[in-house]
Structure 1
Amino acid sequence: MSMELQGKLVIVDLDETLFLRNSTEEYLNSLQPKTLGAVLLIALDILKPWNWLPQPLKGDQSRDWCRVIISTLIFPWTLIFWQQQAQKLAHNYINQELILKFLEQFPSQIVIATLGFDLIINPIIKNLQFCPDAVISCRFWQGGVDRQRGKYELVKAVLTDEEIANAAVITDSTDDQVLLDAVASPYLVQWPDAQYVPAMADAYIPFLYLERGKRPGQKYFIKNIIADDWLVLILAIAWISPYPALQSIMMLFLLLSFWCIYEYGYVDNDIIAETFEQKPTLSATYQNYKNRVKLLQVWLWAIILAIPGLFLLEVIKLQLTPKTINLSLLSSMGLDGVLWLTFLSVVFGCFWSYNRLDKQTRIWLYFCLQASKCFGFLIVTTTNSIGIMLFASQVLARWIAYIVYRVGKHTEWMEFPGEFFRCFLFTFLIISVALGTGELSILLSWQTLVIFAWCAYRGRRQFVNICRQAYPIYKDKTLV
């Protein structure tokens, strides 16, 4: 694009124009520890504190300002690390094509005008290949007010109306239309090498792939991992513990550790499907998240989440308070840690094999994967016969649903009444054991009654649907 800049005052945008990235996102991307920074940014996007601000600051216009301020207050060392990071970014992402135009045409003045924040952009500008005559930006602490004013008003506060009217503006943003309309030479340019990269786009966060890449919009973590898998473990294991609260928390940590590995199996499954299947079933957001999950980080988080769970396990075993630590506890914890990592390795290997076998053979390994979600935890703890029957009901219900799906050759999961079927299986198993052993008391134990009530509640809608679909056989008669 031809630009006549010689002898003119040039007002140039920074983000994705002079600097081929977004300075705010790059700053937020430098938060350390990276995973905690990513968790914070996700939490802010969920809570949206910028909508809590009074007018006129309230709204998305203050989003970046809130994210920057809150992140800096929580991770104050970021400002120190940013100095060196900004130097690297300025070297890697300066718009060389635009710099050459400045050097060739000798504008009278170069003014950088941006809605970026001064503490963020100044280290970048300091490392540019030229020294601008002025920098107009948002103040760090008053950035919300400055962003509400807009770039044109910020420029007017520094330059005269005559200077603006005779100036040239180079920007990539249509949000600068007021400023573009006010100058003699407006240039709205989309630079091919410019890219908006969201902060923490490559950060690994446990269970993020499940929530946004594998099953977006389904609230899988809450509905399936917490409200199903964890509750099954509580009803089967924590119920009979002398310390049910501690046992429940312990099982939660171990379950999260387990799901770090299991989630990676889902990622691997989708990558294999994308590579080898003609019509893979992938979510619309799969491409955005598939490269975030790194195997080393997966194992690191699996270990980190397992440590408090294993510690609580030993506290329960030794009937100690959480503050008591001795050699016996640490030794036992180390042994259980080895057992737990061995179990996770087996799950990893099973899922790896499952992903690389044909779909009919997968039926048998699917049983092992489902069994690992329940019976695998018995490698470090125990349950009773009622818990075993709940585990068996859980595994068989999911396995049979999968068999129906695979053998039926459907492209999508059928509306199999899995929740009701689990309740049906548990009822059948508990009555069979009670009659077979003569221990009729287990039918009236509180554990049995609570499990049955929970299973019945979860399967109530499916039971109603089954009843509604039932009809007399004579209605199938065909009239000739």
Structure 2
Amino acid sequence: MTTAVRLSTHSRSPRAALSAIRDFDGPLLIDLDETLYLRNSTEDFIDCACPGLVAIVLLRVLDLLKPWRWTGGPATRDFWRVRTIGLLMPWTRGRWRRRAHRLAAEHANQPLIDTLNAHRSSAVIIITNGFAPIVGALVAGLGLSVHQVIAAGLSSARDRRIGKLRMAQEQLGDRIVGDALVLSDSLDDLPLLDACRRPLLTIWPGARFRSALARTYLPGQYLSQVKRPGERYIVRGILQEDFVFWVLASVGLAALPVLHVLGLGLLLLSFWTIYELGYVDNDRVAARYESDPKLSAAYHAAPVATPRVRPWIWALGSAALAITVLRWPAPPGIGDLAIWTGLLLALQLSFRFYNRLDKQTRIWPFAGLQLARAAAFAVLVPISPVGAMALGAHVLARWTPYLLYRIGGREWPDTRFHLVRLMFFGVLSGLLALAVGIAPLLDWTAAALLGWNLFRARKELLSMVNAASRIDRTPA
């Protein structure tokens, strides 16, 4: 049976599901999250972690390491998240027990609970992928007479790996599962729905998946989860591109290279905290004023906090630390912080101006935003001449596909970014040599910049060479 047919066969409206439950004579296997409880118990448990900022950092580290690759894949991701919070922030369990009763009362699916309580002739069994130590406190506050709760354990990831059908078969037996009514909202439960006598796949009004710690702000959250979800953009687009050029263009002139790199890292955090605000404003303007806005699905789910003041606290605090490190052992000057603050204010105003322009006019200020990404740090630290050429090539290579996209394309063009940047770097470096002589191109900074550009463009360069052919070998 295809998935589409199964969905059509199993899907029922809330009213039809309640009617089917009242008419059914047999065991009732009822899902918990977003069914009996109109939110997600795992996310609400993690939301109790305090301080939230520490919890978010821990979860982001987990997302980077992906330890669930060795325990059964994404199905076991929540096992690692809950175990990490439980082990490193053990007071979260007490906070959850105190909060669970109130959450159960506020987000209980009352029509479903009333129907189940009135149907005394059938055993009500809750079956959930939620974790037993978490759902126990929640079920106690729902006001439901429950025969049994089948939930995932926290001693290992096995239950999450085998799924609900195997859990139900192991604890209830195949006969009870086969004779049961199963009510769930999740497509992940299709195997269990297929195995029972009366499957009900129902989406309940008021059910909402709310991400844990959605009210806690951390720089980069919006960029990685809303603006560019799944792209690892912070690593691939910022650290491997912008930050490497910041370092290579300036570290050759630094007295203390290690402190210089650390200071640039803090300055990058400060800069991107405000640049990210530009992305938030861009999406809000698009959602309000554009007929066909380019918004990710995560935008409407609002999984992360987007405050107005806290990003500035982060930006100014990390800038002050950056200036202290960059100027060490000399004392930091208030003038440096004033200059950087002015640049950040200009960046935010530029983004607000850019976001409110028509799309064709945006072509030109876009180059300015890319210049800020590439070279904002140069207002505080010196850069070498060949470093300036590399930054210019980086800006032009980023601006070129945007120009082509806005002029005539519906999709972002594949311009072979790294190869184009390598070409621009060669052209600008040649012009530099013509203007001041070849000396600036003979130091290790130039060699490092050329080497990095070649390394990043290696695949595109090889593809270009393999595809090249001469046209004078065969007459037309």
Root-mean-square deviation (CA), in Å? 4.1
- Match for residue 247 of structure 1 among 257, 260, 263: 260
- Amino acid across the alignment from 1:382: P
- Residue number in structure 1 paired with 2:67: 49
- Residue 404 of structure 1 deviates from its aligned partner by 5.2
Q: Do structure 1's residue 33 and structure 2's residue 46 form an aligned pair? A: no
SS at match of 1:267: helix
- Residue 382 of structure 1 deviates from its aligned partner by 2.2
- Residue number in structure 2 paired with 1:423: 425
SS at match of 2:383: coil
CA separation in 2, counterparts of 1:379 and 1:145? 54
User: What whole-Å deviation, never above 9, does each CA across 1:335-387 have from its counterpart, x for those lacking one?
Assistant: 53343232211111111111112334334422322222244213322234343
Q: Do structure 1's residue 72 and structure 2's residue 86 form an aligned pair? A: yes
- Residue 29 of structure 1 deviates from its aligned partner by 3.3
Q: Which runs of 5+ in 2 are unaligned?
A: 1-17
- Residue number in structure 2 paired with 1:92: 106
CA separation in 1, counterparts of 2:102 and 2:118? 25
- Match for residue 269 of structure 1 among 277, 282, 294: 282
Q: Do structure 1's residue 151 and structure 2's residue 168 form an aligned pair? A: yes
Conservation of the 8 A alpha-carbon contact between 2:53 and 2:218: yes
Q: TM-score, normalised by structure 2?
A: 0.76
- Residue number in structure 2 paired with 1:358: 358
- Match for residue 237 of structure 1 among 250, 270, 280: 250
- Match for residue 207 of structure 2 among 195, 214, 230: 195
Conservation of the 8 A alpha-carbon contact between 2:429 and 2:441: no
Conservation of the 8 A alpha-carbon contact between 2:30 and 2:36: yes
**1:197–1:39: structure 2 CA closer, same or farther, 3 Å change rule?**
farther
CA separation in 2, counterparts of 1:49 and 1:397? 36
CA separation in 2, counterparts of 1:457 and 1:207? 27
- Amino acid across the alignment from 1:154: Q
**Structure exhibiting the larger radius of gyration computed from Cα positions:** 1
Conservation of the 8 A alpha-carbon contact between 2:393 and 2:422: no
**1:91–1:310: structure 2 CA closer, same or farther, 3 Å change rule?**
farther
1:1-400 aligned within 5 A? 1-2=18-19, 3-4=21-22, 12-45=30-63, 47-53=65-71, 58=72, 62-107=76-121, 112-129=126-143, 132=145, 134-138=147-151, 141-142=154-155, 144=157, 150-155=167-172, 171-172=183-184, 173-174=189-190, 176-177=192-193, 180-181=196-197, 188=200, 190-193=202-205, 195=207, 197=209, 199-200=211-212, 202=214, 205-216=218-229, 218-282=231-295, 287-288=300-301, 293-315=306-328, 317-318=329-330, 329=331, 332=332, 335-399=335-399
**1:391–1:288: structure 2 CA closer, same or farther, 3 Å change rule?**
same
CA separation in 2, counterparts of 1:259 and 1:43? 19
- Residue 14 of structure 1 deviates from its aligned partner by 3.1
- Residue number in structure 1 paired with 2:434: 432
Deviates more, 1:201-210 or 1:67-76: 201-210
**1:467–1:19: structure 2 CA closer, same or farther, 3 Å change rule?**
closer
Q: TM-score, normalised by structure 1?
A: 0.76
User: What whole-Å deviation, never above 9, does each CA across 1:151-207 have from its counterpart, x for those lacking one?
Assistant: 343346xxxx9xx699975632545459845xxxx5736252363626438465533
- Amino acid across the alignment from 2:345: S
CA separation in 2, counterparts of 1:35 and 1:73? 16
User: What whole-Å deviation, never above 9, does each CA across 1:31-51 have from its counterpart, x for those lacking one?
Assistant: 333344344345435544344
Deviates more, 1:374-383 or 1:204-213: 204-213
- Amino acid across the alignment from 2:202: Q
SS at match of 1:150: helix
CA separation in 2, counterparts of 1:50 and 1:64? 9
- Residue 82 of structure 1 deviates from its aligned partner by 0.9
CA separation in 2, counterparts of 1:146 and 1:360? 54
Q: Which runs of 5+ in 1 are unaligned?
A: 319-328
**1:410–1:20: structure 2 CA closer, same or farther, 3 Å change rule?**
closer
Conservation of the 8 A alpha-carbon contact between 1:423 and 1:459: no
The number of equivalent residue pairs is 444
SS at match of 2:366: helix
- Residue 230 of structure 1 deviates from its aligned partner by 1.1
CA separation in 2, counterparts of 1:404 and 1:115? 48
- Residue 150 of structure 1 deviates from its aligned partner by 0.7
Identity %: 30
- Residue 413 of structure 1 deviates from its aligned partner by 4.2
Deviates more, 1:237-246 or 1:115-124: 115-124
CA separation in 2, counterparts of 1:91 and 1:351? 44
